[in-house]
Chain A
Amino acid sequence: MSAPRFPVGAAVRIRRAFPPGHIRAPWYLRGCAGAVSHVVGEMGNPEEFAYGRCDGPKLTVYRVRMRQPDIWPDYAGPPHDTLVVDVYENWLEPAGEETP
């Protein structure tokens, strides 16, 4: 595998996009920012598999860790609680470059 676009520690955001179809980026996390905690490796794209397209390029999968208050501004627990989610690279952008 070549060097990942987002190394461990990179500040990333899940794109705030709402396309139709089979989507693996949970709705509640779109637009939320965190940091890459682990680069999992390259995997086939399930958003293409869902339509029988199995020959497309693989995508790097990341684990992204977020602070709960960055997901839910009114989060009830302590601010150091976190959530880690698996994200395919097509759903990530640098945290500073939010897609309008």
Chain B
Amino acid sequence: MSDSHGHSHPHAPHPHQPDVEDAPLTHHQILELAVAELLIEKGVFSGGDMRRTLEVIDSRSPADGARVVARAWVDPDFRARLLADANAAAGELGIDAGTIPITTVENTPDVHNVIVCTLCSCYPRMLLGLPPDWYKSRAYRSRLVREPRAVLAEFGTVLPDDIEVRVHDSTAELRYLVLPIRPPGSEDMDEAALAELVTRDCMIGVTLPDSPDG
């Protein structure tokens, strides 16, 4: 056996990270590739158009939603406009929230809102970016509507019984954004600092913003 690197024992095979092609394509992946190729061949859009659109989708992040929430916390007029028309309100901040209507559901001392899409995984991607894997899981989608308080507790969110837990099942061409309650101790923070408190999960409603008091 030739030894090209200075020792003679046989190597154990290294585990290889599988290439993306190593798993067989599913029916729907083949369908998606075929439809995309056909639309490009027919000139409906170009490969560049598709790439640019994917890039825009991938560029979205919860920081966009956090800016919207922080503005609503410091500006009551903006908050009213956000509750009336979230897409237009986001536009005021230079955020293109897309054409699917987004409804803002506001947490209050009496009501805690949390979002799910039991049919698939509808999610306000234009304000929050791509959804986390757990949001798309069958466990989250089936359990949140059946035992919401148990699911919230697993996220560390234990709410007193006198608060109404309101689950929103997003089944139409509509999207939902939770407007959390501004946390205690944040009274002296400016808008940019407030936005740092607003996480993806509190805009889905599975948790609350951390108080700066700890």
Contact = CB atoms under 8 A, between A and B. Distances in A.
Contacts of A40: 101, 172, 174
Interface string A41-84: 00110100000000000000100010010011000111011111
Given A26-B118, A77-B161, A80-B164, A86 B149 contact: no
Given A24-B119, A26-B119, A76-B147, A86 B166 contact: no
Interface residues of A, number: 26
Interface string A14-50: 0000000000111011000000000010011010000
Kindly state the interface size class of chain B when it binds its partner.
20 to 34
A87 interface: yes
B167 A84 contact: yes
A28 B145 contact: yes
Given A26-B119, A43-B172, A77-B161, A83 B149 contact: no
Contact of A61 (B148, B167, B172): B172
B213 interface: no
B166 A83 contact: yes
A65 B164 CA distance: 12
Contacts of B171: 24-26, 85-87
Closest 9 CB pairs of A and B: A86-B172, A85-B169, A78-B161, A83-B167, A81-B165, A77-B149, A86-B171, A80-B164, A82-B166
Contacts of A28: 118, 145-146
Contacts of B60: none
Contacts of B56: none
Contacts of B169: 26, 29, 83-86
25 contacts: A26-B118, A26-B169, A28-B118, A43-B172, A43-B173, A46-B172, A61-B174, A72-B146, A76-B147, A76-B150, A77-B148, A81-B149, A81-B164, A81-B166, A82-B164, A82-B166, A83-B166, A83-B168, A83-B169, A84-B166, A85-B169, A85-B171, A86-B171, A87-B171, A87-B172
